[in-house]
Amino acid sequence: MSPDQPSLFDDPAKENAITTDLVKIEARVWVLHAQLNQANYAYYVLDNPALPDAEYDRLFHELKGIEAQHPKFLSIDSPTQRVGATPLSQFEQVAHEVPMLSLDNAFNELDMEDFDRRVRERLVSSHIIEYACEPKLDGIAVSLLYEDGLLVRGATRGDGSTGENITQNIRTVASIPLKLLGDNHPPILEVRGEVYMPKKSFNSLNAAAREINEKEFVNPRNAAAGSLRQLDSKVAASRRLEFCCYSLGRVEGHEMPAKHNEILDAFSKWGFKTNPESKVVQGVEGCLNYYQNLAGRRNDLSYEIDGIVFKVNEISLQQRLGFVSRAPRWAISHKFPAQEEMTILEGVDFQVGRTGAITPVARLKPVFVGGVTVANATLHNMDEIKRLDVRIGDTVVIHRAGDVIPKLARVIIEKRTESARVIEMLTRCPVCDSHIERIEGEAIARCSGGLVCGAQRKEAIKHFASRKAMDVDGLGDKIVEQLVDEDLINSFVDLYSLDLDAVANLDRMAQKSAQNLLQAIEVSKKTTLAKFLYSLGIREVGVTTAQNLQNHFLSIIPLVKADFETLISVQDVGPIVAQHILNFFSEPHNQEVIDGLLNAGVHWPKVEVKSEDQLPFANKTFVVTGTLNLMGRDEAKGYLQSLGAKVSGSVSAKTHALVAGEKAGSKLKKAQDLDIEILDEEAFISLLAEHGIEHEQ
C-alpha cells in the first residue's frame, strides 16, 4: 500500500463494522466446531447418529469455506483437520504408520469437472486421465496387517493417525482371509477396505431386535460399526459382516503393480474380496457415465452405498499429485443425493386403504431428499408412532431410497419444543364415519364400514361378485371400476337396479353384453346363506367359516343378533373372528345394505339341519397335507367338516383317508405304511362332487 493511499481503517465506522463481522464469523466457527465434534462423538463413540449425513456435510463444508476465506480461523483442532473421531477407550490403541485419510466430496457434475481440471493442471497434462471407479460402501473403514501371509492385526481408522485394535472381531468376518492365498505376496502387507453389513443381514438383525423389544440400529453402517466395537467377538460373529478391500496401506519387500486396478487384482488373487462393480474409465466423462449407471441400480444392490469413489489409476501420478492435510489430491467421492434429511412434522392425516386399513401419514414441511421434494411420509400404524415417540411439531429425519415411499426414520428428541402435540388415533372413519376397530394383538386399525366406505367400495364389490361369493358371471374387475367411476353403483344393492342403457354406454360394452350382465346379476339373487355371508367381506370370514356359520345359525337373523359367547361356540370361530363379526353387524350402514339386498330379491333356500347319521363323513377322520394348487388347506378342511368329518393334524391307524398335495412329506409315507387311503387333489375334488360340493377351480 502506498503512503498516499488511505487506510481502510481510517474510517472508524468501517473499522467497527469489519471487527463486528469478524467477531460474528469467529463465533460461528466455534459453534460449527461444537456441532461437528458432538456429531462425531454421537456417531463414532456412541454408535447413535444425531445428524443425517447431508446435514453433517453441510456444516462441514460451511466451516471449510470459512477457513479458506479466513485462514486466521483455521486451527489444528478443527474438525476439517481430522478424519474421524476420538477412538473408543475399551480397545488397545494402534498407530497407523501410513495415515488413513478421508476423501473430498463432489456433489454434482461441476464439482467432478473441477476435480478433473485440477488433476490435469497439477500434472501439467492435457491428456485424458484414466480413473478407477468403485462404489463407496457405507460401512466402517479398517486396516488389515499381514506378516508373512498371516493376519496379525485389524484396526479401525479412528482419527486417521490412531485407531483401535479390533483383531478378534475382524477374525470373525468370513470374507477376510486369515492366511493369504498363494506364495507370491509381500512379507509385510497392509490392506485397507470397508467392513459393512449387507441389507439382508441388517433387516434380520433389526427384526430380531424388534421381537425382544430392543433398540434397532439406524442404518447398516451404524450396525457394522457397533458390531466391530463389541468386546465379545461372538457378538460380531453373529452379525454376518462382510469386507471389501479398496486400497493399499503399506508394503515391504515386494514390488506392487503400477496401477490401482492392478493392485486390486493382486488382492483378489491373495484371497481378498473386491467389488465386482469396480471399473476403469477414461476422463471425467467416463466417471459421470459410471456414476449415472450405478445410481440407477443403487437400490438393487445387496449392500448400501452413498456414492462413487474415483481415483487416478496410475500410482506414479498419484504420487506426483500428493496430499492435502486430510485427503489425497488424486481421489474424490461423488456423493449421491442425500437419502436422509431433517424437517418438521407439521401434522398427521389418516388415510383409508382398499381393505379398510387406517394408515397415519405424516404431513411435513417440504424437504428435498433422495432427489425429490418430499411433503408426505408414511407412519405405518400407531405402534410405529409409539415406537418412534413422534409428535406433531417435532424435528424428524426423513429417509427415502430410490422409488421407495419416504418414511419417517427417527425423531431428534433434543429439538422437541414444549408445543409438540401427541398423535391420537381416530375413532371414526374419516371417509364414511364408521367405527374404527383394532383387535388386540394386531398393529393395524381398520374401518368397519366395508360395504359403504368409499375408500373400500371397488374392492368390496369385486369380492361380492366373485365366483365363491354371489357368482355374477361377466362382472369383472374392469367393469366394476367403470360402474363405480361413472357413479352408477355405490354399494352392492345398486347392482340390482342398474339401468340397461347406462351399462350399454360403458367402454367396451354394447346392448347385448349389457343385457347378459344384467341377466347374470338377476340370476345371482338365488344363492346360499353361506355364499351370501362370504360375499359380505367380513374380515377373516372365508368360505369355511361362512359354511360353519350357516350350519350353526340356519338363518341370518339369529346370526345378526348373536352375542360374543354365542359366536365363539361356532366351530372354528375364535375370539378374533367373533369380534370381527360383532363389529360388522353392529354398524347401521352394514345392516342397511343387508336389508337392501334382501329387499332387492336376494334369497336362499331354507337351511335344513342334518343329523349326524345324514352326514357322509360322520365319525371319519381325515388328514390334509402338502400343497394343494386349486384350494387352500383351510378350504379343504372346511369342506370335510361340512360333510361331518373330523380333520386331524397327524396320521394314525384311526385315519380314514389322507388328502395329499405336492411335497406331502412324512405324513404321506406314514399313510402308505399303514395302508390308509390316499387322495390326490383331483381325486379329492371328485369325492366332494359326489357329495354335492362343487369346488370352483
CATH number, domain containing residue 362: 2.40.50.140
**Which of 335, 366, 399 lies at the terminal end of a domain, its last residue?**
335
What is the Cα–Cα distance from 648 to 667, expressed in whole angstroms?
A: 11
Which positions are annotated as active-site residues? 136
At residue 145, the pLDDT reads: 96
CATH of the domain at 681: 3.40.50.10190
**Residues 625 and 503 both lie in one domain:** no
At residue 1, the pLDDT reads: 44
Is residue 89 domain-resident? no
Is residue 556 domain-resident? yes
Angle CA(435)–CA(598)–CA(453) in degrees, nearest 5? 25
**Residues 523 and 638 both lie in one domain:** no
**Residues 345 and 275 both lie in one domain:** no
Strand partners, 364: 345
**Residues 155 and 195 both lie in one domain:** yes
What is the rounded radius of gyration, in angstroms, for the C-alpha atoms of the chain?
35
CATH of the domain at 172: 3.30.470.30
CB-based contact 309:315 (threshold 8 Å): no
Is residue 684 domain-resident? yes
CATH of the domain at 539: 1.10.150.20
**Residues 45 and 137 both lie in one domain:** no
Is residue 425 domain-resident? no
CB-based contact 615:644 (threshold 8 Å): yes
Q: Is the pTM of this model over 0.75?
A: no
**Residues 558 and 459 both lie in one domain:** yes
At residue 514, the pLDDT reads: 92
Is residue 34 domain-resident? yes
At residue 8, the pLDDT reads: 44
Beta strand 340-352 pairing with 395-399:
antiparallel
**pLDDT below 70 — which residues of the chain?**
1-19, 40-41, 44-47, 76-77, 81-90, 401-404, 451, 609-614, 695-697
Cα dihedral 426, 427, 433, 439, rounded to 10, equals 110
**Residues 205 and 120 both lie in one domain:** yes
**Which of 298, 319, 335 lies at the terminal end of a domain, its last residue?**
335
What is the Cα–Cα distance from 379 to 237, expressed in whole angstroms?
A: 33
At residue 666, the pLDDT reads: 84
CATH of the domain at 20: 1.10.287.610
**Residues 622 and 672 both lie in one domain:** yes
Beta strand 357-369 pairing with 242-252:
unpaired
What residues have CB less than 8 Å from 656, skipping those under 6 apart? Answer: 617, 620, 621, 622, 645, 676, 677
At residue 14, the pLDDT reads: 61
SS3 annotation, 183-198: CCCCCEEEEEEEEECC
**Residues 313 and 282 both lie in one domain:** yes
Is residue 433 domain-resident? no
At residue 697, the pLDDT reads: 52
Is residue 604 domain-resident? no
Is residue 308 domain-resident? yes
Dihedral sign (CA 686, 690, 695, 697): positive
**Residues 215 and 277 both lie in one domain:** yes
Count of domains observed in the chain: 5
**Which of 574, 599, 624 lies at the terminal end of a domain, its last residue?**
599
Q: Give the other-Cβ count within 10 Å of 595's Cβ.
A: 11
Residue-number span of the structural domain to which 352 is assigned? 340-415
**Residues 287 and 396 both lie in one domain:** no
What is the Cα–Cα distance from 225 to 140, expressed in whole angstroms?
A: 6
**Residues 173 and 292 both lie in one domain:** yes
